[in-house]
Amino acid sequence: MKKLLVLVLAMVMVLSLFVSCNKEAETPTITLMQGKPEIDAMLSAYALAWGAANNVNVVIKSIGGASGGLGPQLKADFAAGDMPDIFAFDGLQSYKDWEGLILDLSGEPWVSKTAVAFTYNGKTYGFPVAVEGWGMAYNADVLAQAGVDPRTLVNYAGYQAAFAKIDAMKAQLGLDSVVSMAAGIEMGWVTAHHNFNSLLSNGLRYGDLSVVNNLLAGNVDARRLSEYADWVELLFKYADKTILTTGNYDSQVGAFATGKAAFLHQGNWTDPNMKAANATFTMAFAPHGSTAAATDGIFVAAPSFYAVNKDSDNVALAKKFLTDLATTAAGHTYMVTEAGMIPAFSGISLQPSGQLSQSVQAYAAAGKVYSWNQYYFSEDFRDKTLSPIYNQFAGGQINKAQFIDLMTQAFIDNKE
């Protein structure tokens, strides 16, 4: 029995040693959780340098994945009482999930330097991670060969003519298809998030929510929807059927990067893929053609925001981390040169190297931008209601009239 007692006592001592070791750490730790695995290495390196300079231990956690990996992880951490000090969110719907936890950052020095911070009821809550944009990316070399002027790509009629012309010359231009478009369920974010936004904001003033509010109230503008359906039909008609119905991100982007498609329905985040595929042709963005009227801009906004956790023990440090990111030269170098992002703040002279990023920057500088309004609809609605409708249309199970009917019905059912 004595032996047992000794054993138990020894175990208690060992345990208490572990506990006290943890308590002894003097340097404060802040944790940042974000959803872009592709910038994890660069952000970690920056955080390490910043932490060393400020005597802080910064932990970067990057959770990516096709099915919104960050959201579930945050919920699990919240349930476990282990929320990070800084975390990323992507718009109104996810802001509402964490409303009780997100600190008001209106007084921060970087607020006046950006136009795309996340604001709600007049207060600033989110630090814009970067600026991203999408339109119709085109291969300028192929367009020149086919004799298509990119300046005509401003409305439905312009695209219809260009697509028909290029389609007739496919063999001559070495193309498999005109547009690289994906509409599988896995690629629902291309259709039901990005393409869907053409219906919501194309041709409208930046931040104009008239169409969104009408659709949320179940009032469908039949003409706008019908013009939009024409656009979707056009994209699907001239797309490679295999990529359209079953392709994934790599096959969609790959077709454009290897010169097998003249257009790509994606954004400037494909720049690293273009580089990896050694795509040397000239490329840029053109506006979407989802309306009969001409439009001259592409969809540009901050894709995600950093929020500071109100209940964090180190709110001041977390705020300083974000401020330094936006206002110091080291922060700028990390954002633009290292991570290749388009900075969301003024007063930065660095330029990303990717052609598509530069195109987005040019549109933004000219003020020819339309907002991202898809976040006003829940992820549930977009992924589980809209995405299957696009998928049916792409697969040819339903025609355009049925597509319009199903979309109309979906908006009516979505009304709260």
Residue 330 as a binder of other proteins (CB under 8 A): the answer is no
- Closest separation between CB of residue 144 and other proteins, Å? 30
Window of 22-30, 237-245, 315-323, 355-363 that interacts with other proteins by CB under 8 A: 237-245
Q: Is 17 buried (19+), middle (13-18) or exposed (0-12) by CB count in 10 A? A: exposed
Instruction: Give the residue, chosen from 226, 327, 333, 378, that forms a contact with other proteins under the rule CB under 8 A.
Output: 378
* Sites for other proteins among residues 386-405 (CB under 8 A): 387-389, 391-392, 395, 397-398
Dihedral Cα 84, 90, 96, 102, nearest 10 deg: 40
Q: Tell me the CA distances in angstroms from 71 to 68, 75, 116, 164, 170, one per residue in order.
A: 6, 6, 22, 42, 42
Residue 246 as a binder of other proteins (CB under 8 A): the answer is yes
Instruction: Give the residue, chosen from 9, 15, 55, 72, that forms a contact with other proteins under the rule CB under 8 A.
Output: 72
**Nearest by Cα to 388 from 181, 230, 186, 251:** 186
- Closest separation between CB of residue 309 and other proteins, Å? 9
* CB 58, CB 88: distance < 8 Å: no
Using the minimum distance from each CB to other proteins, give the nearer residue, 211 or 307.
307
Using the minimum distance from each CB to other proteins, give the nearer residue, 102 or 212.
102
**b/e 95-125 (16+ beta carbons within 10 angstroms → b):** beebeebbbebeebebbebbebbbeeeeebb
Using the minimum distance from each CB to other proteins, give the nearer residue, 149 or 313.
313
Strand arrangement, sheet containing 369-370: 132-134, 298-301, 369-370
List the x/- string, 134-173, binding to other proteins by CB under 8 A.
Answer: ----------------------------------------
* Sites for other proteins among residues 101-130 (CB under 8 A): 101-102
Using the minimum distance from each CB to other proteins, give the nearer residue, 334 or 381.
381
Rounded Cα distance between 242 and 115, Å, is 40
Identify the H or E element spanning 297.
none
Task: Name the residue type at position 132.
Answer: E
Instruction: Give the residue, chosen from 339, 379, 404, 411, that forms a contact with other proteins under the rule CB under 8 A.
Output: 379
- Closest separation between CB of residue 81 and other proteins, Å? 11
**Sequential DSSP letters for 185-248:** STTHIIIIIIIHHHHHHTTSPTT--HHHHHHHTT---HHHHHHHHHHHHHHHHTB-HHHHHH--
**Nearest by Cα to 369 from 407, 332, 333, 342:** 342
3-state SS class at 288: coil
Number of residues that bind other proteins (CB under 8 A): 45
Per DSSP, which regions of 63-130 are E strands? 86-89, 118-120, 123-128
Window of 32-40, 76-84, 151-159, 294-302 that interacts with other proteins by CB under 8 A: 76-84
Bridging pattern class, strands 298-301 and 369-370: parallel
- Closest separation between CB of residue 22 and other proteins, Å? 20
Residue 408 as a binder of other proteins (CB under 8 A): the answer is no
Window of 42-50, 93-101, 121-129, 201-209 that interacts with other proteins by CB under 8 A: 93-101
Instruction: Give the residue, chosen from 92, 115, 140, 185, that forms a contact with other proteins under the rule CB under 8 A.
Output: 185
Rounded Cα distance between 50 and 46, Å, is 6
Phi, psi for residue 350 in degrees, rounded to 5: -70, 155
* Sites for other proteins among residues 255-314 (CB under 8 A): none
* CB 338, CB 357: distance < 8 Å: no
Residue 91 as a binder of other proteins (CB under 8 A): the answer is no
Instruction: Give the residue, chosen from 64, 380, 399, 401, that forms a contact with other proteins under the rule CB under 8 A.
Output: 380
Residue 176 as a binder of other proteins (CB under 8 A): the answer is no
Instruction: Give the residue, chosen from 160, 214, 245, 337, that forms a contact with other proteins under the rule CB under 8 A.
Output: 245
| Binding stretches for other proteins (CB under 8 A) | 1, 4, 66-68, 71-72, 75-76, 78-79, 96-102, 184-186, 241-242, 244-248, 251, 378-380, 383-385, 387-389, 391-392, 395, 397-398, 406, 410
